[in-house]
Amino acid sequence: MFITAKAQEAEATESEENIVMKLMGYKRENGRYGIRNHLLIIPASVCSSETAVNIAKLVDGAIAIPHQHGCCEIGDDFDTTKRTLVGFGKNPNVGAVLVVGLGCEGIQAKDIADEIKTTGKPVEYIVIQEEGGTAKTVSKGVEIAGKMAREISKQNKVEFDISEIILGLECGGSDPTSGLASNPSIGVASDMLVSMGGSSILSETTEVIGAEHLLYPRFEDENEGKKFLEMVKRVENRSIAAGHDLREGQPTPGNKAGGLTTIEEKSLGCMHKAGHSPFKGTLEYAEELPTNKKGLYFMDTPGQDIDSITGMVAGGAQVIVFSTGRGTPTGSPIAPVIKITGNSSTYNNMIDNIDINAGKIITEGVKLQDLGQELFDKIVDVCNGEMPKAEALGHREFGIFRTGFTY
């Protein structure tokens, strides 16, 4: 069963296996490469989020990620929040980090900072209760962050191989054109990256329900394949335990208005983002992708776009490709998000948000391989510094997945 996946990979990559492509980016102390050089201000909890935002406002180029988590969480939610915040700090698109804590929250600023420091990048933390209030903390934070901003501005780009790239694969606001054009185009681009030694992450567990039997045989390791099936079952069981059928919300009203009628239809289109490469393994939400075992992975994320993208970026993705049939402006604080649609009407209607029109496959007879190449070329350009529309418009949406309650 699992030999089939390897045969598919060999067929897909035979003509590209010797291709070497170089990019320009920032080398980090741990050997990874970033395509951006952000100064990140991380609030340890909701209690310090506004203070972190105020610090970022006063330091040119600084980005804060305010959120509603970090305190009075237990179990999986506690672990997920901490893993996500640490993962954002570790992402190679970040050159330096300042963590801001209140002092009495569940997730401590020092603990977050200590874990991020393992990458070798500059990391500091400050605590509001120890500094003596908001004003003093902002003043101290601006002093620290300002120095960090000056230091990372001195970093020069260096050449690195495209095999260092981790690409996150996302779709949202899907319609039938997503499965016909934009998602298969993403699959072509993903296969190209994987064939060159890079990595891709397929996400959104909700949106493989009904297609899991087609993805399962593509796992090289049978145990990883079983973990994937368990992830899908876990999502279903979590909804049932809450007294609901997740099909109450899937497909979404927008999906239905676009012409999708069941979650199975949606999933059969979503799966095409993964192309034909075999899966190397599975990742929990915001789990770091192993750099010593590159390739295609599946990450257990929700179908909600922002939470899903956040999980992949926390897992190490430097760039995201986002397919949308209905249209969406969503971006990410530290990773550029490239938009592609299979619906030419949506492209024309939301041209200030969408980068590539894969609808040409349907309306103009453009070949899938050619459109996939166009998308791959765009990924390369963005990795080399070009700003996709979401990034240029300042879209920095951030959300952390949770399954329980705040206590």
SS (H, E, C) the chain: CCHHHHHHHHHHHCCCCCCCCEEEEEECCCCCEECCCEEEEEECCHHHHHHHHHHHHCCCCEEECCCCCCCCCCHHHHHHHHHHHHHHHHCCCEEEEEEEECCCCCCCHHHHHHHHHCCCCCEEEEEHHHHCCHHHHHHHHHHHHHHHHHHHCCCCCEEEEHHHCEEEEEECCCCHHHHHHHHHHHHHHHHHHHHCCCEEEECCHHHHCCCHHHHHHHECCHHHHHHHHHHHHHHHHHHHHCCCCHHHCCCCHHHHHHCCCCHHHHHHHHHHHHCCCCEEEEECCCCCCCCCCCCEEEECCCCCHHHHHHHHHHCCCCEEEEECCCCCCCCCCCCCEEEEECCHHHHHHCCCCCCEECCHHHHCCCCHHHHHHHHHHHHHHHHCCCCCHHHHCCCCCCCCCCCCCCC
pLDDT at site 18? 52
Class of residue 396 by CB neighbours under 10 A (exposed 0-12, middle 13-18, buried 19+): middle
pLDDT at site 243? 86
Q: Which residue stretches of the chain have pLDDT < 50?
A: 1-17
Please report where in the chains the tokens 């990140």 appear, as a residue: 40
What is d(CA 116, CA 288) in angstroms, rounded to the nearest whole number?
A: 12
Backbone angles phi, psi at 280, to 5 degrees: -80, -30
Query: Which tokens go with 295?
Result: 């390739």
How wide is the angle at C-alpha 321 spanned by C-alphas 260 and 187, nearest 5°? 70
pLDDT at site 19? 66
* Residue pLDDT, tens place only, 137-185: 999 999 999 999 999 999 999 999 999 999 999 999 889 999 999 999 9
Q: Judge contact between 91 and 334, C-beta under 8 A.
A: yes
pLDDT at site 267? 85
Please name the amino acid found at residue 332. Answer: S
What is d(CA 231, CA 214) in angstroms, rounded to the nearest whole number?
A: 15
pLDDT at site 177? 93
Q: In 3D, which of 166, 212, 167, 204 has the Cα closest to residue 186?
A: 167
Query: Which tokens go with 45?
Result: 């909890």
pLDDT at site 252? 78
- The answer to whether the predicted template modeling score (pTM) of the entire model surpasses 0.85 is yes
pLDDT at site 403? 87
What is d(CA 40, CA 64) in angstroms, rounded to the nearest whole number?
A: 6
* Residue pLDDT, tens place only, 288-309: 999 999 999 999 999 999 999 9
pLDDT at site 258? 78
By residue count, the chain amounts to 407
pLDDT at site 186? 98
